[in-house]
Structure 1
Amino acid sequence: MKKLLLISAAMILFGGLALRAYFTLVPPPEPTLHEPLALIVPDELEGWEIKDLDMAESPESSARISEFLNFDDALFRVFQKNDVFVGLYIAYWTPGKASYRWAGAHTPDTCWVVNGWTREEREYSIPFTYNKIRLEPAEFGVYSKDGSSQNVYFWHLVGGEPFSYDQTGTPNILGALLDVKEYGLNLREEQFFIRLSSNKNLDELKKTPGFKAIIESLVEVGLEEEVSAAAAPLASTQL
C-alpha cells in the first residue's frame, strides 16, 4: 500500500512538472477580442433607455465574486423600451487567465437561485436563431422572483466553442482532470460568459425595433455558430 502511494505521488509530481514545462514552452492562443465590450454592444438605440450597471449588481455576482473572478473585461448593460426589458451580461477572460470551471461557475442555476430566484424551466444546449442569425447552442432557463419571471439564455464559450454544463458539483481538482480529458493540454483558451435575459419571448422581441442590434453585437464578440452550407435551417427558439 505504501509503495502504491509513493508511485501515485511520483506520477502526480511528474505530471505537474510536465504541465509546467508545457505551459512554459508553448505560448497561449492569441485573443480574438480586440476592443472593449462597451464599444461593441450598442449604447444608443432609438426609443430605448440604456444604462450600464456594476457587475456586482447582477444576479450572478457580488462585489466579492466579481473581484474573485478577475475579469479582463466585463459588461452589464440593460435595455428598456416601454414594457420590454433586456439584460445583457458579458464577462471575458484572456487566454490562460481562468480555469474553465471557475469561469463558468456563476450560472443562473447557482447564483440566481442563491439570490432568491426560483428555476421554473431548464433546457440544455438548444439551438438559438434570430431571423437569419444563428448563434451557438444555448443554455436556457426560466427564473422567477417576487412575482416576475425572466427568460434567460446563457453561453460559456471556451475558445469559441460552447462549454458543456453536463458536469455536476463545484469546481475542484477532479473537474480540472475532466477538463484535461476533454481538452487535452489545451487549457488556456480565451473565455466568454454571456447571458441574455428578457421578460419577453423571442417572437415578441423580433417585433421590437432595435433588438436586432443587440443580437448583432453578440455575433461580433464571436457567438455566431459556423454552419456548413448543406446544413438545414433550424426553427427559431423562444427567449
Structure 2
Amino acid sequence: MNPTPTRPWREVPGLLRALGPGSWWIPGSLAVLLVAWLWRIVPEWSANPDLSHGFFTPILFAVLLHESRQRGPLRWWNVSKLWISVVCLGLFASLGLLIIASLFAAALDWTHTLVLFLLGFSTTGALAALLLLAATPQVRLVPANWITVAALLLWVFSLPLPPGTYHSLTFTLQLWVSDRVLEALHLLGVPAIQNGNIIELANTSVGVEEACSGVRSLLSCVFAGLFFSAAFVRKVGSRITLLVLAPLLAIGMNFVRSLLLTLLANRGVDITGFWHDATGFAILGITAVLLGLLALLLEKLEDVSPAAEPVATPPEADNLTALAPARRVRPIYFAGYTAGLAVVLFFTVMTRPATTGNESPVPDVLAFMPPAPAGWRVATSTDLYRFSDILETENLGQRIYLKEGPNGELLQVTLYIAYWAPGQAPVSTVASHTPDACWPGAGWSPQPIAETTTRLDLGERQLHVAEHRLFHNQRMPQHVWFWHSYDRRVIREFNPRRPLELLSSVFHYGIRSDGEQMFVRLSSNQPWETIRDEPLLQEFFAGLQPFGL
C-alpha cells in the first residue's frame, strides 16, 4: 500500500479506456443498481419510523467518500491474485444475494423486509467491489481506509431487519425496559407490578409496546455513531469508544423516556398522542446531540500529528498497463450481473398478480359456521376488518359459542375462517399468520405440549391432520387446532421465518399462488375429548370437506 495522492475525478474516462472496451459497463450497471435500490428502499424509509435516518444515507455516503480522499490515510491495494479473488468474491456474493432475494420475493413480496434486507446487502456488496477497484494504486479514486468502510456500512444500518431478528430484538428490549422501569418505580416509592411488558400502576397500566422498545433509537444512534467515528475522529480508540457508547446511550435514553412516561401516567396524565410522540422525538434529538458532542470532545483530546505532505506519484502508479490483471474481472462482472438482471426480471414478471380463469364465487365464510346451534349463545365478531390489510384479505369470519357444560363449567368454542381467492396472496403470506406468530402479541403465552400435530376423530370420520397448540392467558387455557388449505388440499405447516422452509414453499407451491386458500382455526377452553361430540362441530366440518378437511 503506497501513500500516493488521489487522482482527480476528471481522469475517470481515461481510466475506463485503460481497462479496455466495455469497461463503462461496470460503473454504469452499479449506478443503475443503486438507483433501482433507492427506488425500492425509499418507500420503506418513509413507512418505517425505525429507518427514517435512511434518507440521510446517500448524502452521508457521498460526504464520507469525499472525506476519505481528503483526510486519509491514503492506502491503496495492489492488483494481485488476492485482490482479484476478493473482488470476484464480492461480486459473486452480491449476485448470490440478488438471486436469493428474488426467490424470497416469490415466496413473500418485493416489499417484504427480508427481501429488502437481502437486496440491500447485494447492493452493498456490489459497491464494495467497485470501491476495491477504485482503491488500486493505478486508479487512486477512493482510498481503502476506515472512512470508506464506514460509508459502506451506512447502507447496512439503513436496512430493515428480517422479521425474526426484529421481533427477537424488540421482545428483548421490551422486557429489559419493563424490568428496569419497574425497579426505578420501586426505588421512587411508586407501587407497581409487572405482567410481561405491561406495568400495572395504582390507577392505570402502561405497556412498553414495540414502538417504545428502543429499536428506533438504537438503529439511529448506531448509524450516527458510525458516521461520527469516520467524520470527526481518527484514532482507533476514539472510534471504538463511539461505536460502543452509541448503542448503550440509545438504550439508556430510551429507558429515561419510558420511565418519564410511566411517571406521567401515574400522575393521571394521558400519555398517548402528544406526550408519547414528543418524548420520542426529544429523546432522539438529545441522543444525537450527546453523541455529536462526545465525538467533538474525543476529536479535541486526540493528539494527531500534522498529516505528511503527499509524496510524488511514482512512475509505476500512473502506468495504467499495470491494470491488465484487473481486466479479468470485467467479463466475470458482465456475465454475472447480466445473469442477475435476467433472474430479477424473470421473478418480477412471474410474481405479478395472477389472472386465472377460475371464476368461482368467493364463499361466505360465515355460512360455514352455524348461526344459532341449540343450547349455545353465539357472538359474531364484527371488528375483523381491522386485520384486512395485514392478512391481505377481507374474507374473514369468526363466531364465539358459549354454553354451560354438564358439570356446570363454562364451555367455549371459537370458529374462525379466512379465505383468499386464487392469486390473491402467496402461500407463505398465509402461513405467516398462524397463532404461533399472532397470539403472543395479544397476551397469550404458548405452553409446551407433547405433540404439535394430531388427527382428530369426529364421529365416524377423521379430520385431516391438524396443527395443535396450547396457550394460557392469566391461567385461562385455550386449545387451538388449525389447518391451511391450498387448492382445496390441506398442506403441511411450515415456519415462514425460517429461510430454508420458506424457500421450499416456493418449489412446493409455485411462484404464483393460483390456488384458492383457506385458513381454518378452532379454539376452545376445553380439550378435544370434551367437545368432539358436539353437533356444532359436526355441522361446521361437514361444510369444509370440499376444502380437504
Deviation at 1:7, TM superposition (A): 4.1
| One-letter code aligned to 1:35 | P
1:188 aligns with 2:514: yes
The separation in 1 between residues aligned to 2:359 and 2:403, in whole angstroms, is 34
The separation in 2 between residues aligned to 1:196 and 1:115, in whole angstroms, is 17
> Which sits farther off after the overlay, 135-144 or 119-128?
119-128
Kindly report which structure 2 residues correspond to 1:67-216, keeping only aligned pairs within 5 A, or say none: 67-82=389-404, 83-122=410-449, 123-167=451-495, 169=497, 177-185=503-511, 187-216=513-542
Q: Secondary structure at the match of 2:477?
A: strand
Q: Secondary structure at the match of 2:539?
A: helix
Deviation at 1:161, TM superposition (A): 2.9
Q: Secondary structure at the match of 2:456?
A: strand
- The answer for unaligned runs of 5 or more in structure 2 is 1-87, 92-330, 405-409
The separation in 1 between residues aligned to 2:337 and 2:434, in whole angstroms, is 35
Deviation at 1:55, TM superposition (A): 5.0
Bigger relative CO (Cα 8 Å, ≥ 6 apart): 1
Deviation at 1:207, TM superposition (A): 4.2
The separation in 2 between residues aligned to 1:157 and 1:146, in whole angstroms, is 32
Identity of aligned residues (%): 24
| One-letter code aligned to 1:111 | C
The 1:30–1:205 alpha-carbon spacing in structure 2 relative to 1, beyond 3 Å, is same
Deviation at 1:14, TM superposition (A): 2.1
The separation in 1 between residues aligned to 2:454 and 2:337, in whole angstroms, is 42
The separation in 2 between residues aligned to 1:160 and 1:12, in whole angstroms, is 36
The separation in 1 between residues aligned to 2:490 and 2:535, in whole angstroms, is 29
The separation in 2 between residues aligned to 1:178 and 1:15, in whole angstroms, is 18
Q: Could you give the per-residue CA deviations for residues 150-204 of structure 1, whole angstroms, max 9, x where no partner exists?
A: 111011222223333343527x7x7664322223445322111111001122222
Deviation at 1:32, TM superposition (A): 6.1
Decide whether the 8 Å contact of 1:48 with 1:80 is kept in 2: yes
The separation in 1 between residues aligned to 2:402 and 2:334, in whole angstroms, is 61
1:18 aligns with 2:18: no
Aligned to 2:388: 66
Deviation at 1:142, TM superposition (A): 0.9
The separation in 2 between residues aligned to 1:53 and 1:156, in whole angstroms, is 21
The 1:102–1:31 alpha-carbon spacing in structure 2 relative to 1, beyond 3 Å, is farther
Q: Secondary structure at the match of 2:415?
A: strand
Decide whether the 8 Å contact of 1:55 with 1:66 is kept in 2: no
Instruction: State how many pairs are aligned.
Output: 214
The separation in 2 between residues aligned to 1:177 and 1:206, in whole angstroms, is 36
Q: Secondary structure at the match of 1:102?
A: helix
Q: Secondary structure at the match of 2:371?
A: coil
The separation in 2 between residues aligned to 1:5 and 1:139, in whole angstroms, is 47
1:35 aligns with 2:363: yes
Decide whether the 8 Å contact of 1:28 with 1:189 is kept in 2: no
Deviation at 1:72, TM superposition (A): 4.2
The separation in 2 between residues aligned to 1:194 and 1:73, in whole angstroms, is 12
| One-letter code aligned to 1:54 | T
Deviation at 1:128, TM superposition (A): 2.4
The 1:5–1:84 alpha-carbon spacing in structure 2 relative to 1, beyond 3 Å, is farther
Deviation at 1:52, TM superposition (A): 0.8
The separation in 2 between residues aligned to 1:183 and 1:211, in whole angstroms, is 30
The separation in 1 between residues aligned to 2:430 and 2:359, in whole angstroms, is 16
Decide whether the 8 Å contact of 1:141 with 1:152 is kept in 2: yes
Q: Secondary structure at the match of 1:210?
A: helix
The separation in 1 between residues aligned to 2:383 and 2:490, in whole angstroms, is 22
Deviation at 1:81, TM superposition (A): 1.7
Q: TM-score, normalised by structure 1?
A: 0.75
The 1:13–1:115 alpha-carbon spacing in structure 2 relative to 1, beyond 3 Å, is same
Q: CA RMSD in A?
A: 3.0
Deviation at 1:16, TM superposition (A): 4.0
The separation in 2 between residues aligned to 1:165 and 1:5, in whole angstroms, is 40
| One-letter code aligned to 1:114 | G
Specify the structure having the higher radius of gyration (Cα).
Answer: 2
The separation in 1 between residues aligned to 2:397 and 2:346, in whole angstroms, is 37
Decide whether the 8 Å contact of 1:31 with 1:190 is kept in 2: no
- The answer for unaligned runs of 5 or more in structure 1 is 57-61, 225-239
The 1:188–1:5 alpha-carbon spacing in structure 2 relative to 1, beyond 3 Å, is farther
The 1:104–1:218 alpha-carbon spacing in structure 2 relative to 1, beyond 3 Å, is same
